[in-house]
Amino acid sequence: MSDPTDPGPSRWARGSRSAGRWAVRVLVALVGAVLAVVVFGRISAPIGPFDATLAFRPVGGGAQVAVPPLGSLAVDVYDGPLRLEIQLQRVDQDRARALAADPVRLAGVVDEVTADLRSALVRLGWTTAGLALAGAALTSFVIYRRRWEPLFAVGITTALLVTTAGVGVATWRPEALSQPTYTGLLVNANSLIGSAEDIAARFDAYRASLEDLVANVGSLYATLSALPDPGGTTDSVVLLHVSDLHLNPAGFDLMREVVDQFQVDGVLDTGDITDWGSRPENRLITSVGTLGVPYVYIRGNHDSTTTAGLIATQPKATVLDDSAVTVAGIQIVGTADPRFTPDKTTGDDEAGPDVLTESGSGLADFVGTLDEPPAVAMVHEPKQALPLDGVVPLVLAGHTHERAVSVMDGGTRLMVEGSTGGAGLRGLQGEEPTPLTCTVLYLDPDTGLLLAYDEITLGGLGETEVTIQRTVVPLAEAAAGTGTKSPSSPAN
For position 5, what pLDDT does the model report?
54
Q: Which residues lie across from 87 on neighbouring strands? A: 53, 66
**Domain membership flag for residue 85:** yes
Indicate the number of domains in the chain.
2
Task: Identify the pLDDT of residue 238.
Answer: 95
For residues 419 and 251, give the distance between their C-alpha atoms in angstroms, rounded to a whole number. 9
Do 452 and 388 fall within a single domain? yes
Query: Can you tell me the distance from the alpha carbon of 449 to that of 430, in angstroms, rounded to the nearest whole number?
Result: 37
Residues 172 and 71 in one domain: yes
* 237-242, strands of its sheet edge to edge: 317-319, 295-297, 266-269, 237-242, 436-443, 450-458, 466-472
- 466 backbone dihedrals φ, ψ, rounded to 5°: -130, 125
Same domain as 327, residue 238: yes
Torsion, Cα 213 214 220 223, to 10 degrees, reads -140
- Whether 169 and 251 map to the same domain: the answer is no
Q: Report, as ranges of residue numbers, the positions in the chain whose pLDDT lies below 50.
A: 1, 103, 191-211, 213-215, 217-218, 233, 345-349, 427-431, 461-463, 483-492
**313 and 428 share one domain:** yes
Instruction: Cis check for the bond before 69: say yes or no (omega within 30 of 0).
Output: yes
Give residue-wise pLDDT tens across range 255-265: 888 888 888 99
Q: Could you tell me the end-to-end alpha-carbon distance of the chain, in angstroms, rounded to an integer?
A: 107
Task: Judge contact between 75 and 177, C-beta under 8 A.
Answer: yes
Q: What is the C-alpha to C-alpha distance for residues 92 and 133, in angstroms, rounded to an integer?
A: 34
Q: Judge if 180 and 250 occupy the same domain.
A: no
Is there a domain that residue 219 lies in?
A: no
Which CATH number is 339's domain given? 3.60.21.10
Q: Do 410 and 428 touch, CB atoms closer than 8 A? A: no
Does the residue 228 lie in any domain?
Answer: no
**Do the domain assignments include residue 286?**
yes
**pLDDT on residue 343:** 53
Runs of H (alpha helix) within 146-277 = 149-170, 189-193, 196-201, 203-226, 249-261
Domain final residue pick, 122, 153, 187? 187
DSSP state string for 320-363: -SSEEEEETTEEEEE---S-----GGGS-SS--HHHHHHHHHHH
Instruction: Let me know whether 386 and 256 are in one domain.
Output: yes
Same structural domain, 280 and 358: yes
Same domain, 130 and 27: yes
My answer on whether 40 and 118 are in the same domain is yes
Q: Is the same domain home to 183 and 237?
A: no
Does residue 39 lie within any of the structural domains?
A: yes
- Domain of 462, in residue numbers: 233-343+351-481
**Residue of 338, 323, 404, 328 whose CA lies nearest to 370:** 323
Judge whether 168 lies within some domain: yes
User: Last residue of some domain: 129, 160, 187?
Assistant: 187
**215 lies in a domain?**
no
Cβ atoms within 10 Å, residue 216: 17
What pLDDT score does 171 carry? 86
What is the structure's pLDDT at 231? 56
Q: Which of 187, 216, 247 is the last residue in one of the domains?
A: 187
Statement to judge: residues 176 and 260 lie in one domain: no
Q: Is residue 365 part of a domain?
A: yes
